[in-house]
Chains A and B, each alone.
Chain A
Amino acid sequence: MADNPVQFELVSPEKLLLSEEVEMVVVPGVEGDFGVLPGHAPMISTVRPGVIHVFEGGSVKSRIFVAGGFAEVTAARCTVLAEEAVPLDEIDRAGVEKDLQNANDDIRDAGGDAAQLALAEARAATARAKLAALDNLVYQ
């Protein structure tokens, strides 16, 4: 089975970000991370903001931050529909901290506007998830 790699696809609304054959991917599912190896049972899951790890030769090849989305897994394929995706090493910590602060300011200023508030909270959550991802690198 190891001969057939997993076809991993990462898609954002604007474009197909990544389509490659990999050994294993670990996806941050809403009920916990799950690893996908060839021959995985078919499943559909919601993805929480977190880091996707792509494994090659037993170690992490790339880390990509996603701001939530959906994942579809079949025996030969793993498709992640991400809302936003950035490689982890391209995230600029200072920028994220600023985003978080702006979002927090917006939450304070939103007042009664529920839509505005929800938007700002989502932004804050994404920024916090980014920071958390930068702080503790799981898997080596």
Chain B
Amino acid sequence: MASLKDFRVRIASVKSTQRITSAMKMVAAAKLRRAQEEAIAARPYSERMERMLGSLAESAAASGNAPPLLAGSGKDNVQLLVVMTTDRGLCGGFNGSVTRWTRQRINALRAEGKEVKLLIVGRKGRGILRAEFGSLIIDTLEDTARPMPRFETAVEIAQRVRTMFEAGEIDVCTIVYNKFISALTQEVTPQQLIPFALPEADDSDAEDDSTDVAGNAAYEYEPDEKEILTDLLPRNLSVQVFRAMLESFASEQGARMTAMDSATRNAGDMINRLTIQYNRTRQAAITTELIEIISGAEAL
């Protein structure tokens, strides 16, 4: 049976762990608030860009001179997956769910006979995927979100993807990230970047814009569709990557906050249990000692 000292040491160690987890929870909560604000603040740009692209894409498709970033390379043999993970651990199932989706996707694509390449953002994702798919990983980007995701980083990532696409090294590019639903829930979301796929129109939005939809066909373009598209598409790529980065960052903080909250609670439970055991052991020791003294006195 464990001695009293063992219990004391154990309790002290759980207590210091609890202090760390509760501090991490506080930090994550503070970062979450900022991350959430930024993610929301960035939405108008990407929404408006999508609206513009939507009308441009329609008219470009109609005239049949869509640039490759929009129309694709006409093949889908080589698939690039950009996987957004974290640099730091201790954030619950965050990285696990992204990598699980990625693994299933890779297996499905391979079963179809496609070639898969991986571009990983975040140290943790690399650690998890390296064992199984080490040969597919082109590169890993680290420290992309310190202290906050920056648009410049998104531009760099987008630039790399575009260079690969233009060099014919990849045909399709999909980004996988944890979409921020609430502090408690994240949802693994794949989004196809190349060729550009218009997201399904939102119902609430459609009503607001009903007056514009009629005017869509009548847009004038300056200089002309093709030139605007060649400017707008790379731009859009960066914006989509940036959005994924922001969503993923907010989700990470949410996941970490929840994970650290339950860790703090578990530590509290454990301290209670250990304290009860400690007291019982202490009482047992006292009782034994008393019995010894009394029976010693009686023997005289």
Q: Is the CB of A43 within 8 A of B239?
A: no
> Contacts A46-B223, A115-B159; is A11 near B48 (CB within 8 Å)?
yes
Quick check: which of A50-58, A71-79, A104-112, A124-132 contacts chain B, the rest being far away? A71-79
A13 at the interface (CB under 8 A from B): yes
A87 at the interface (CB under 8 A from B): no
In the complex, what residues of B have CB within 8 A of residue A70's CB?
49, 52, 228, 231-232, 235
Distance in angstroms between the alpha carbons of A41 and B216 in the assembled complex? 11
B289 at the interface (CB under 8 A from A): no
In the complex, what residues of A have CB within 8 A of residue B51's CB?
72
CB proximity of B157 to chain A, nearest CB, Å: 13
In the complex, what residues of B have CB within 8 A of residue A9's CB?
44, 48
Range for the number of chain B residues in contact with chain A: 20 to 34
Per-residue CB proximity of A1-34 to B under 8 Å, as 1/0?
0000000010111111000000000000111001
In the complex, what residues of B have CB within 8 A of residue A46's CB?
222-223, 227-228, 231
Q: Is the CB of A43 within 8 A of B222?
A: yes
A91 at the interface (CB under 8 A from B): no
Choose among A15, A43, A75, A79 the residue that contacts B220 (Cβ–Cβ < 8 A): A43
In the complex, what residues of B have CB within 8 A of residue A12's CB?
45
Q: Is the CB of A44 within 8 A of B49?
A: no
In the complex, what residues of B have CB within 8 A of residue A41's CB?
218, 220
B56 at the interface (CB under 8 A from A): yes
Q: Is the CB of A42 within 8 A of B218?
A: yes
> Contacts A42-B219, A42-B220, A46-B223; is A13 near B242 (CB within 8 Å)?
yes
Interface residue count on the A side (C-beta < 8 Å): 25
Distance in angstroms between the alpha carbons of A11 and B41 in the assembled complex? 10
> Contacts A45-B228, A46-B227; is A15 near B44 (CB within 8 Å)?
yes
Choose among B151, B228, B231 the residue that contacts A13 (Cβ–Cβ < 8 A): B151
In the complex, what residues of A have CB within 8 A of residue B55's CB?
44
A100 at the interface (CB under 8 A from B): no
B215 at the interface (CB under 8 A from A): yes
Per-residue CB proximity of B199-223 to A under 8 Å, as 1/0?
0000000000001100110111111
CB proximity of A12 to chain B, nearest CB, Å: 7
Closest to B47 in A: A11
Distance in angstroms between the alpha carbons of A81 and B50 in the assembled complex? 11
> Contacts A81-B45, A81-B48; is A44 near B228 (CB within 8 Å)?
yes
Per-residue CB proximity of B219-253 to A under 8 Å, as 1/0?
11111000110011001001100100000000000
In the complex, what residues of A have CB within 8 A of residue B56's CB?
44
Most buried by A among B56, B151, B222, B239: B222
CB proximity of B218 to chain A, nearest CB, Å: 6
Measured CB to CB, the residues of B under 8 A from A are 38, 41-42, 44-45, 48-49, 51-52, 55-56, 151, 159, 211-212, 215-216, 218-223, 227-228, 231-232, 235, 238-239, 242
Measured CB to CB, the residues of A under 8 A from B are 9, 11-16, 29-31, 34, 41-46, 70, 72, 74-76, 79, 81, 115
